[in-house]
A and B are shown apart, each in its own frame.
Chain A
Amino acid sequence: MKRVNVIQPKALLKVIALLVPLLFNANGLAFAASSQTSDLTKNSVAAVASPVVSAPAAEAAHGAEAPEGEEKAGDVIMHHILDNSVFAFEPFGSINLPKIVVGGYDISVTKHVVMLWVVAALLLTVFSAVGGSYKKLTNRQAPKGLANAMEALVEFIRLDVAKSNIGHGYEKHLPYLLTVFFFILFCNLLGLIPYGATATGNVNVTLTLSVFTFFVTQISAFKAHGVKGYLQHLTAGTHWSLWIIMVPIEIIGQFTKPFALTVRLFANMTAGHIIILSLIFISFILKSYIVAVAVSVPFAIFIYLLELFVAFLQAFVFTMLSALFIGLATAHEGHDEPAAGTAHH
């Protein structure tokens, strides 16, 4: 009953005011609340303050003992970062996503799959509108509104990413690069809104995307050089006695590129969320409003803005590197001749 006394109406209001930024991370808090539901005292508090979103969470963090609180923080953060089969809309309830198993493979729809579909729906809505307005546009008209905003990004990808990295024949790869850029960008941004989850913060999603880049790179290399040219590429133009070293290195190099893409995107998106949540949980672990006001909330907002930048940056980096790899794979002279030249010396 001592804990109930801590949550006076006045104090509760303060907590609510301090935790408004936390709504960005409502999923994490929801888990904190649900993990504590078995506790009798929690139940009573939840009943008292049921319309308030953050009350159970605040109680959960405040009520826990110090070492226990740290463990809870870790669990909450992990819960927020990881995929699961429940799409929670705290405090309005949650949706249990269907579990599908086909031929022994678990292809059940999870939170991140739902986010991917939301991204897909958003992309299709936005770009069907943009594409439609471009179809209506005559040569003498300037694009307006959404079409204009998207054109800046499309033009950026087209010229600064695709054309400058791939060079000749870049038009073929534009649809892939544009799609991958906007897909990742929307995924990253949706992770930053309340109730959202970052699908690109899941290693499986980024792995799939970079496997696409891998296939595009390999196929374009085959198309550009033929089988013989492709195999020659693997020797990097060195003397035959070095092939025993060069060929494995080149083959490994083919796989490290998509691996680097995978880890870069996944780690960047995950790290930002972990930092935001960790900053928030500092105030719960230390049980101090001062820390919350002076440290947690300002720093979390700062990291949030940084994340907004990182969302664009990582989408750009992924696209940029994909274009660069395609450019390297399809380049005829730029890659082979200097290597051949050094081999003669």
Chain B
Amino acid sequence: MLTSGIILLAGSLLSPNPGLIFWTAITFVIVLLILKKIAWGPILTALEEREKGIQSSIDRAHQAKDESEAILRKNKELLAKADAESDRIIREGRDFAEKLRADISQKAQSEAQKMIASAKEEIEQEKRRALDVLRNEVADLAVKGAEKIIKTNLDADIQKRIVDSMIQDLSTKRN
């Protein structure tokens, strides 16, 4: 394009201009110094402060989280301990009750056994005494019966049979 050729040939695009360089330098330095004082100082301080504030907030939050986690862990430990304790207590109680029951039942059994034994012995004694009494009675009766028979009827055979049958009767009645 002819236009671009003219622009290139113009040459003044790259021509140095000391005045402009001078003014640029002056303007830039003044702007830099003023802005450094009035703007960058406050802004950067505020930004840094905020950054630190945010960092400390995050740190604090982390710390709080750690703390709460520790508390939670402690609570869990306590709970587990309490659980174990209650388990132990229940187990002990159950064992004790078991033992107690076994003891009591054993005692009762032995007591009953003893009572049964003593009762049996008493019965045996009573039986023996009764038998003695009965024997004496039977002997007396026999003697009396014999006396009567002899008195009334001296038939020996009949008397003998009567006595026999009497004894028989007595023995069946006893049983």
Q: Do A and B bind each other?
A: yes
Query: Which residues of chain B from 96 to 138 have a CB within 8 Å of any chain A CB?
Result: none
Report B56-71 CB contacts with A as 1/0, cut-off 8 Å. 0000000000000000
CA distance A82 to B17 in the complex (A): 11
Q: In the complex, which of the residues B17, B28, B35, B43 has the most CB atoms of chain A within 10 Å of its own CB atom?
A: B43
- CB-CB under 8 A for A204 and B17, given A71-B6, A127-B35, A130-B39: yes
User: Which B residues lie within 8 Å of A212 (CB)?
Assistant: 25, 28
Query: Which residues of chain B from 16 to 37 have a CB within 8 Å of any chain A CB?
Result: 16-25, 27-28, 30-32, 34-36
CB <8 Å contact, A151 and B47: yes
CB <8 Å contact, B46 and A112: no
CB <8 Å contact, B13 and A82: yes
Q: In the complex, which of the residues A81, A202, A270 has the most CB atoms of chain B within 10 Å of its own CB atom?
A: A202
Q: A110 interface residue, CB < 8 Å from B?
A: yes
CB <8 Å contact, B23 and A274: no
Q: Give the total of B residues in contact with A, Cβ under 8 Å.
A: 42
User: Which B residues lie within 8 Å of A180 (CB)?
Assistant: 28
CB <8 Å contact, A127 and B20: no
Report A68-84 CB contacts with B as 1/0, cut-off 8 Å. 00110111011001110
Tell me which of B10, B21, B44, B50 contacts A208 (CB under 8 A): B21
CB <8 Å contact, A127 and B38: yes
User: Which A residues lie within 8 Å of B7 (CB)?
Assistant: 74, 77-78, 81, 274
Query: Which residues of chain A from 110 to 147 have a CB within 8 Å of any chain B CB?
Result: 110, 112-113, 116-117, 119-120, 123-124, 127-128, 130-132, 134-135, 137, 139, 143
- CB-CB under 8 A for A176 and B43, given A70-B3, A74-B2, A205-B24: no
Q: In the complex, which of the residues A123, A175, A183 has the most CB atoms of chain B within 10 Å of its own CB atom?
A: A175
Tell me which of A109, A171, A203 contacts B13 (CB under 8 A): A203
CB <8 Å contact, B19 and A105: yes
Q: A61 interface residue, CB < 8 Å from B?
A: no
| Interface size band for A | 35 or more
CB <8 Å contact, A116 and B30: no
Q: B156 interface residue, CB < 8 Å from A?
A: no
CA distance A134 to B38 in the complex (A): 10
- CB-CB under 8 A for A270 and B13, given A70-B2, A74-B6, A120-B30: yes
Please list the 8 inter-chain residue pairs (A to B) with the smallest Cβ-Cβ separation, ordered nearest first: A74-B6, A127-B39, A131-B39, A107-B19, A208-B24, A204-B20, A134-B42, A175-B36
What residues make up the interface of A, taking CB atoms closer than 8 Å to B? 70-71, 73-75, 77-78, 81-83, 100, 105-110, 112-113, 116-117, 119-120, 123-124, 127-128, 130-132, 134-135, 137, 139, 143, 150-151, 154-155, 158, 171, 174-176, 178-180, 182-183, 199, 202-205, 207-209, 212, 270, 274, 278, 281
